[in-house]
Amino acid sequence: MSARPTPRERRQALITLSQADHRQELEVPMRDGVLLAADVYLPDPDPGRPVPAIVFGTPYDKRGVGAVDEGRFLQARDYAYVSYDTRGRGKSEGEWRAHVHDGPDGHDVVEWVARQPWCDGRVGTTGLSYGGWNQWATAREHPPHLVCMASFAAAGRWMQEIPYTFGVFQLYFAYWVYGTRRRIMNSRSDLDWEALLMQLPVSELMDSLGAAPGTWPDMRDHDTLDEFWRSLRLDEDYRTIAVPCLHVAGWHDREDLLGAFHHYEQMLAASPRARDQWLICGPWPHVGTRYPQASYGGVDYGPAAAIEMDAIQLRFFDHFLKGYANGWPEVPRVQLFETGSNRWLTPPAWPRSTAAQPFHLRSGVQGAALRREAAPGPEPERSFRYDPKDPVRVPGGVSYEEFYEPPLDESYLTRRADVVFYATDPLDAPLAVSGWPQLELFASSDGEDTDWHVKLEDQGPDGRLIRVAAGCLRAACRESLSEMAPLVPGAVHRFEVELGPVTHVFQAGHRAVLAVTSSDFPWFARSCNRFGRAVEQRDPRVAVNTIHHGAEHPSRLWLPVVAEAEAG
């Protein structure tokens, strides 16, 4: 009787070769002996010589629809394409712990691919979302055969982006951690997430659902910018990453817009290959960065928004991996879709604006207003009552479907008593902005902590509020993301709230509107208005939050206004 096969022998027996699409399933050895499962798509027909390879690492199944379609597209164009399950996911060995192992593993995959007889030693990488982050984690390890990267909606600006945005926990990641508790991601669930996410504390909710044992404690227990998150950030690494990159982002990406721009800006500032960085940003959501469409969230941007991303990525790879003289170096380094005018711009640099202009929050000039002129003296305060049991909600309930589109029309905010608005007069001429808006807020609360959620809206003659940008800040993180500090109840504190990057024009006759509140549920966890670890809090209290104005407390919105001569 023959010996019973070992688990590894059984896996080896499952390695397949598909004659139909020239796809092999192989195991890639890591430096610590762990084997990662990979699908290798070889060119069809076989060119009879080694070819460049493109690598894609994902925790969402190496045979997902996007990977299969991309693999077949590239193999038909004389590339080898390698998609692999990250450690502990799909068919790969090892323990799944999001973000932690991606760099060394990515390095080892790239170098393994470069040594294969079907690869000519030139390797590029691609990937969306986690697949974008995976490339940056790989690049910081400096694999010698990594030639170029195509990075779509990449995360990586940890704790200033995800999973906490300036101290405010993104509740999406409660669902995400739950969805990754098994080896294959399932984006559907029969659970009532709207009811579940109202439960407190958030930490016990996820523990009871059996979340991923490694990933959830990392997010639950590290709620400040501590050594764990610092070790994952690339702040000191960009100066050593000498890799050309195509950066793609979407203005309506609620997950990784901040990270995608961070990678681009840091590479431009520090990389030895700063000249070889390209940025494309369109009116797309997260997944739409890889699969652009003409409309989003109820707004039609016209056919020009639906660019052919397959062709763009292929042209990029053809130049850097095959040396084609296809004109890629002449492609504009910056391509921005300007919302409001719905047109593509190719400015010489990002951001288009080089100096922000203040728009003062006024409460004594015909009611609440945004004015370029500062208040000559004190002005009335504006207070609102924030109840964590009745948070501001995105309409339509909760959906975590992959292509769920939150509405861009945020007129529902006007029906809330706990949202404070400031607006310009109808504009006499277009107002173009391009860069990072920031709110300088002087405010107080009657407790030791709260959250600030800020939205910049475009209000047209029809009265609708169309989302342009948003940002948030936990009040206790106002001075540091590493060391939280309680508020002094009733005292006026200064807060800086960063809004996401924009390129937008407020047309003549429109108003720029600023909305300030203290919740944005269910995208973000609710503040219980208490100091301490947010995910452990179970006893919410009502807060009275107050915005201050005038010469002594000059609350103001800093907008990156484009000079009139450059706005046309």
Report the distance separating Cα 564 and Cα 568, nearest Å: 7
Q: What is the CATH number of the domain that holds 139?
A: 3.40.50.1820
Q: Closest Cα partner for 265 from 161, 123, 345, 339?
A: 161
Neighbouring residues of 546: CB distance < 8 A, sequence distance ≥ 6: 381, 382, 383, 443, 444, 445
443, two tokens: 């405010």
Q: Which pLDDT belongs to residue 204?
A: 87
pLDDT below 50 — which residues of the chain? 1-17, 19, 402-403
Supply the mean pLDDT for the chain. Answer: 92
Q: Does 464 reside within a domain?
A: yes
The size of the chain, in residues, is 568
- Position 323, amino acid: G
Residue 378, beta-bridge partner list: 550
Q: Report pTM.
A: 0.94
Residues 410 and 555 grouped into a single domain: yes
The answer to whether 378 and 550 have CB atoms below 8 angstroms apart is yes
Residues 114 and 240 grouped into a single domain: yes
Q: Does 343 reside within a domain?
A: no
The answer to whether 106 and 22 have CB atoms below 8 angstroms apart is no
Q: Does 278 reside within a domain?
A: no
Pairing mode of beta strands 119-128, 556-559: unpaired
pLDDT in tens, 207-222: 777 776 789 999 999 9
Would you list the DSSP string of 380-396?
--EEEEE-TTS--B-TT
pLDDT in tens, 248-306: 999 999 999 999 999 999 999 999 999 999 999 999 999 999 999 999 989 999 999 99
Burial class (CB in 10 A: 0-12, 13-18, 19+), 160: middle
Q: What is the CATH number of the domain that holds 498?
A: 2.60.120.260
Q: Does 555 reside within a domain?
A: yes
169, two tokens: 């926990």
Last residue of a domain, one of 235, 260, 285: 260
Range of the domain at 89: 8-167+224-247+254-260
pLDDT in tens, 494-504: 999 999 999 99
Report the distance separating Cα 327 and Cα 334, nearest Å: 15
Q: How many domains does the chain have?
A: 2
